[in-house]
Chain A
Amino acid sequence: KQEVTQIPAALSVPEGENLVLNCSFTDSAIYNLQWFRQDPGKGLTSLLLIQSSQREQTSGRLNASLDKSSGRSTLYIAASQPGDSATYLCAVPILYNTDKLIFGTGTRLQVFP
């Protein structure tokens, strides 16, 4: 059974710091991995999608890496800003059944000025 966990559960940092958020999954046979952002009271915004054949994806100040063999993904946020404050979620679909996403427990990030 696939289980996805995220560390840390919460993070509070001053503006400008580079951050690493961690995502671990128990079954390394994944199809892809997706990182989302959720703002308070809002929906989920897709940030990055990494296919199982890829090792990393980049979008602006965000870089996500994937190490399937060790069951880990990291989301790197460069030069953090107060606007980055949100909850970050990683999710993987069940292998051979991409209709079902298993979500991680989330990392709540606060970046203060």
Chain B
Amino acid sequence: DTAVSQTPKYLVTQMGNDKSIKCEQNLGHDTMYWYKQDSKKFLKIMFSYNNKELIINETVPNRFSPKSPDKAHLNLHINSLELGDSAVYFCASSQAGTDYGYTFGSGTRLTVV
């Protein structure tokens, strides 16, 4: 299936831990994103990468570090997790210069306890 897939789907962890969320797309898109959906269900961009290069970094704490080993993968590593990091994190992809819009993954629900 052509899609944006992210793992894990659920993540429960203690404050202070370090965790990673993985994302892969097989759509051949050149741009990938991480979005955060807070408790009020509001979606906001965190990062975007185009061909492995960071394009957007939206005032996200430096505890969040995206890594793109190739244009099909964009992983999100979070250090020293805090209670306020609890949210749903969505990966997405698009093809720059086209009219096809965005494709989103199914989300990772992170709960920090």
- Inter-chain CA distance A36–B35, complex, in Å, is 14
Q: Which of A41, A87, A101 contacts B109 (CB 8 A)?
A: A41
Question: Which residue on B lies nearest to A35, using beta carbons?
Answer: B101
B61-84 vs A, CB cutoff 8 Å, 1 = contact: the mask equals 000000000000000000000000
User: Are the CB atoms of B107 and A42 closer together than 8 Å?
Assistant: yes
The binding surface of chain A is classed by DSSP as strand
Range of interface residues on chain B? Answer: 20 to 34
Which residues of the partner chain B approach A45 to less than 8 Å between Cβ atoms? 104
Q: Which of A51, A99, A103 contacts B31 (CB 8 A)?
A: A99
A26-47 vs B, CB cutoff 8 Å, 1 = contact: the mask equals 0000001010100001111110
The yes or no answer to A55 lying at the interface (CB within 8 A) is: no
User: Are the CB atoms of B103 and A46 closer together than 8 Å?
Assistant: yes
Question: Which residue on B lies nearest to A106, using beta carbons?
Answer: B41
User: Are the CB atoms of A43 and B99 closer together than 8 Å?
Assistant: no
Question: Which residue on B lies nearest to A43, using beta carbons?
Answer: B106
The yes or no answer to B86 lying at the interface (CB within 8 A) is: no
User: Are the CB atoms of B107 and A32 closer together than 8 Å?
Assistant: no
A94-110 vs B, CB cutoff 8 Å, 1 = contact: the mask equals 00011111010110000
- Inter-chain CA distance A100–B55, complex, in Å, is 10
- Inter-chain CA distance A97–B99, complex, in Å, is 13
B87-113 vs A, CB cutoff 8 Å, 1 = contact: the mask equals 000101010100111111111010000
Residues of B within 8 A of A (CB): 31, 33, 35, 41-45, 48, 50, 55-56, 58, 90, 92, 94, 96, 99-107, 109
Nearest first, the 5 closest Cβ-Cβ pairs linking A and B are A43-B106, A44-B104, A49-B101, A103-B43, A99-B48
Residues of A within 8 A of B (CB): 32, 34, 36, 41-46, 49, 51, 87, 89, 91, 97-101, 103, 105-106
